[in-house]
C-alpha cells in the first residue's frame, strides 16, 4: 500500500466528559491553526437517508459482507478483488486489504496535550531509532460508563496476559455490548470492520480505524455499527452514521501512523447509543508498552465474523517503518478498528480504549499493529463527541 514499503502488507479490515473533551494544547508559540483538525464528512444526516441505510442492511447483505483486498502495484496502480488475504511482498491491513509500496511517514507522535489544566510536552518520533522509547505527554482519559446488565462473571475466560491466538470472548461483561461489527459499502461492495462505543458528550460516538471510514480517496457509504453482533443477530439494533471523522494525515495520504476514525451515529427509537449499550473509557497520550487486550470481529479465515474475538499481551514499538505499537495477535481481516484496551477488567468487561487494530506485515501475520493515540486521535474524538448535540 505504501510506496517504499516493498516487503510490507498494512492489514485493513475493513466518560467523565470534561476531562476527555478538550483538545491537545498547541506547542508554545503556535497559532490556533496548528492544533490537529480532523476531517468531518457528512454521512446519512437526514432521517430519510438513515431509514434507507438501515433498510439496505438486510441479514443477507450482512452475512455476505467480506474484508476487502486492495492491491497497489509498485507503479501505483490499484485493483480490488473479493475478500480474503492474498498476495505477498506487500503491506496488508487488518481487514484483509493489502497493497505494495508506500512510504510510511515517521513524523508522528508529537505536540503537547492539555486537559482541564493537565499539560505535557511533545514526544516527536520523527527519525527515532528503531525501537526507541518515546516520552508521551501526560494522559488524558475518559472514564467508562457502566452498563446495567454488565456481567461480572469470568467463567470460561482464560488469562489474557499472553494470549496471541484469538479466541471467542465468553466472559460477558460490558465489552459484549460496547464492541461491535461495522458494515459499509466500499466501491459498490459490502464490507466489514469492527468498532467500539465510547463515552462521549453526545452519547453517540464509535471509534474505529481510518480505513474503516475512508479508503482510496472516498468515504464509505451505508455505514452502520452493530454492537454486540453475534452470528447474525443484532441484539442492540443497527446504528447509522450521521458523520464520519478521521485524521488529516489519513485523509490526505492514508498514513498508517494516523489510521484512526470516529463515527457519530443517529439515535434508535429516540435513544442514544451509550444510553443503550454503555460506553468504554478512552485515553490519549499514554505511556507505551502497557498491557493490552485487543478485540474485534475478524472475518477472514480461519474466522468468519460471527463472534467477538480477543487477544492479550504487552505491546512493543514497531521497529520497522511506523510509529505504531505491535501486539502478538493472529486476528485477521474484519478485525480492523476493533479496540485495544488498557486496564481491562475481565470481571466487568470494561477498560480504557487506547488504540485500534490497524495493520499487519505479511511476513509476520502473528503481529497486529495499532496507532498511538496522541493529539490527532484526541482531536478526532473531541470533535466527534460535540457533533449533533442538539
Please indicate, yes or no, if residue 70 is contained in any of the structural domains: no
Q: Is residue 125 part of a domain?
A: no
Provide the CATH number for the domain around residue 312.
Answer: 2.40.10.10
Residue carrying the nine cell digits 505491546: 315
Task: Kindly state the DSSP code that residue 211 receives in the 8-state scheme.
Answer: G
295 falls within a domain: yes
Are the CB atoms for 212 and 244 separated by under 8 Å? no
The tens place of each residue's pLDDT in the chain, 390 residues long, gives: 333 332 333 444 333 222 233 333 333 343 444 788 999 999 999 999 999 999 999 999 999 998 754 333 233 333 333 344 333 333 455 544 443 233 333 322 222 333 322 222 223 333 333 333 333 344 454 544 433 333 333 333 344 445 566 788 999 999 999 999 999 999 899 999 999 999 999 999 999 999 999 998 999 999 999 999 999 999 999 999 999 999 999 999 999 999 999 999 999 999 999 999 999 999 999 999 999 999 999 998 899 999 999 999 999 999 888 999 999 999 999 999 999 999 999 999 999 999 999 998 878 888 999 999 999 999 999 999 999 865
Domain that holds residue 338: 38-65+140-385
Chain centroid to Cα 307, Å, comes to 17
Given a contact cutoff of 8 angstroms between Cβ atoms, the answer to whether 362 and 9 are in contact is: yes
C-alpha dihedral (315, 264, 13, 304), degrees to nearest 10: 100
Q: Which residues contact 89 (CB under 8 A, 6 or more apart)?
A: 6, 7, 100, 362
Cell numbers given for 243: 458523520
What is the dihedral sign for C-alpha 362, 351, 264, 261?
negative
Q: Is 135 within a domain?
A: no
Domain assignment of residue 93, yes or no: no
**How far is it, in rounded angstroms, from Cα 48 to Cα 25?**
39
In a domain, 25, yes or no: no
Grid cell locating 198: 465510547
- Is 288 inside a domain boundary? yes
3-state secondary structure of 192: strand
- pTM of the full predicted structure? 0.76
In the chain, how many domains are there?
Answer: 1
Is the residue at 97 inside a domain? no
Range list of H helices, the chain: 17-20, 47-56, 59-64, 175-178, 248-253, 273-277, 375-385
Amino acid at each position: 500500500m505504501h510506496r517504499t514499503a516493498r516487503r510490507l502488507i498494512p492489514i485493513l479490515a475493513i466518560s467523565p466528559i470534561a476531562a476527555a473533551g478538550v483538545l491537545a494544547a498547541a506547542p508554545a508559540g503556535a497559532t490556533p491553526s496548528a492544533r490537529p483538525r480532523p476531517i468531518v464528512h457528512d454521512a446519512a444526516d437526514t432521517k430519510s437517508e438513515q431509514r434507507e441505510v438501515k433498510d439496505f442492511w438486510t441479514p443477507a447483505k450482512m452475512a455476505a459482507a467480506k474484508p476487502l483486498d486492495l492491491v497497489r502495484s509498485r507503479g501505483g496502480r490499484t485493483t480490488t478483488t473479493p475478500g480474503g488475504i492474498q498476495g505477498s511482498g506487500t503491506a496488508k491491513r487488518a481487514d484483509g486489504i493489502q497493497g505494495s509500496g508506500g512510504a510510511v511517514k515517521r513524523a508522528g507522535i508529537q505536540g503537547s496535550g492539555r486537559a482541564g489544566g493537565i499539560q505535557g510536552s511533545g514526544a516527536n518520533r520523527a527519525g527515532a531509532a528503531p525501537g526507541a522509547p518515546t516520552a508521551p505527554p501526560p494522559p488524558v482519559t475518559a472514564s467508562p460508563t457502566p452498563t446495567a446488565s454488565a456481567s461480572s462473571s469470568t467463567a470460561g475466560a482464560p488469562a489474557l496476559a499472553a494470549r496471541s491466538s484469538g479466541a471467542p470472548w465468553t466472559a460477558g461483561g460490558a465489552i459484549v455490548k460496547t464492541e461491535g461489527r461495522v458494515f459499509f459499502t466500499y466501491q459498490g461492495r459490502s464490507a466489514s470492520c469492527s468498532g467500539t462505543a465510547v463515552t462521549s458528550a453526545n452519547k453517540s460516538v464509535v471509534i474505529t480505524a481510518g480505513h474503516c471510514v475512508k479508503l482510496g480517496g472516498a468515504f464509505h457509504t451505508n455505514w452502520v455499527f452493530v454492537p454486540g453482533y453475534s452470528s447474525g443477530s443484532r441484539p442492540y439494533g443497527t446504528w447509522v452514521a450521521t458523520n464520519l471523522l478521521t485524521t488529516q494525515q489519513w485523509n490526505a495520504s492514508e498514513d498508517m501512523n494516523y489510521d484512526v476514525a470516529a463515527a457519530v451515529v443517529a439515535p434508535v427509537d429516540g435513544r442514544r447509543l451509550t444510553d443503550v449499550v454503555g460506553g468504554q473509557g478512552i485515553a490519549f497520550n499514554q505511556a507505551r508498552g502497557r498491557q493490552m487486550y485487543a478485540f474485534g470481529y475478524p472475518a477472514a479465515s480461519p474466522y468468519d465474523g460471527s463472534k467477538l474475538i480477543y487477544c492479550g499481551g504487552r505491546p512493543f514499538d514497531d521497529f520497522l517503518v511506523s510509529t505504531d505499537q505491535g501486539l502478538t495477535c493472529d486476528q485477521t481481516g474484519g478485525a480492523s478498528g476493533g479496540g485495544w484496551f488498557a486496564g481491562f477488567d475481565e470481571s466487568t468487561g470494561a477498560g480504557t480504549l487506547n488504540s485500534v487494530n490497524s495493520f499487519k506485515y505479511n511476513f509476520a501475520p502473528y503481529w497486529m499493529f495499532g496507532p498511538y493515540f496522541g493529539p490527532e486521535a484526541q482531536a478526532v474524538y473531541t470533535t466527534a463527541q460535540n457533533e449533533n448535540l442538539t
